[in-house]
Amino acid sequence: MSQITLLLEQAHAGDDAAWQQVVALLYGDLLRLARCASTSGRPNTLNATALVHECYLRIASNSGENGIGSRSHFLALAGRAMRQILVNHARDRMAAKRGGGAEHTTLDQHELAADREAEELIGVDSVLQQLGREDERMVRIVDCRIFGGLTEVETAEALRMPLRSVQRLWAQARERLQNLLAA
């Protein structure tokens, strides 16, 4: 049993210090995920550090230390939270872009690129929602693999699914997403 798993068990038993240690040990992983998930690093998008902090707050308030059984499970939850945070940020950006009575100004190239990125992310989320109506397991696997940066083995562990099922569903999800995005 890994150190993180032991700490998660202690946190589940009510040890707040163990929960803080888990977060400290996984902070580097969370930052790596955030850098991958926030695809551009351009101005006016949510930066990786802010994304990690929002992710931590969401995991701590919604899931907290309860029910998280392993590093992979923690990172799977973090991947899903990061996707939700990025999509919410993109929606807020697009709502602000529409103006609401604000004065119109000319945008520079960075602003236009950030707007395009926000639109693309909202589109990807829409496709993932559509995929989720077909098979929610595929969306959870996409969250783990893309937004959580987990391997197939880690994804299987996090979702408590057989590896072969994860591999099959991952292949189906990629094909289905490709078709939905092309449509």
pLDDT for residue 132: 93
pTM of this structure = 0.74
The sign of the CA dihedral 75, 61, 142, 124 is negative
Does residue 104 form part of some domain?
no
Q: What is the dihedral of CA 26, 28, 32, 35, to 10 degrees?
A: 110
Does residue 41 form part of some domain?
yes
Show the low-confidence residues of the chain (pLDDT under 70).
1, 37-45, 62-66, 97-108, 110-111
For the residues of 85-123, what is the DSSP string, one character each?
Answer: HHHHHHHHHHHHHT-TTPPP----HHHHHHHHHHHHHHH
Does residue 69 form part of some domain?
yes
Q: How far is CA 115 from the centre of its chain?
A: 20
Which residues, in sequence order, are CB contacts of 124 under 8 Å at separation 6+? Answer: 181
pLDDT for residue 102: 56
Contact 40, 115 (CB under 8 A): no
For 150-174, the pLDDT digits (tens) are 899 999 998 999 999 999 999 999 9
Number of domain units in the chain: 1
Residue 16 belongs to domain spanning: 3-97+109-182
pLDDT for residue 167: 97
pLDDT for residue 129: 92
| CA atoms of 130 and 26, how far apart (whole Å) | 31
Residue 142, classified by CB atoms within 10 Å of its CB into exposed (0-12), middle (13-18) or buried (19+), is buried
Q: Where are the alpha helices (DSSP H) in 13-59?
A: 16-37, 48-58
pLDDT for residue 65: 46
pLDDT for residue 83: 86
Does residue 129 form part of some domain?
yes
For 49-64, the pLDDT digits (tens) are 888 888 888 887 765 4
pLDDT for residue 9: 84
Does residue 103 form part of some domain?
no
Does residue 102 form part of some domain?
no
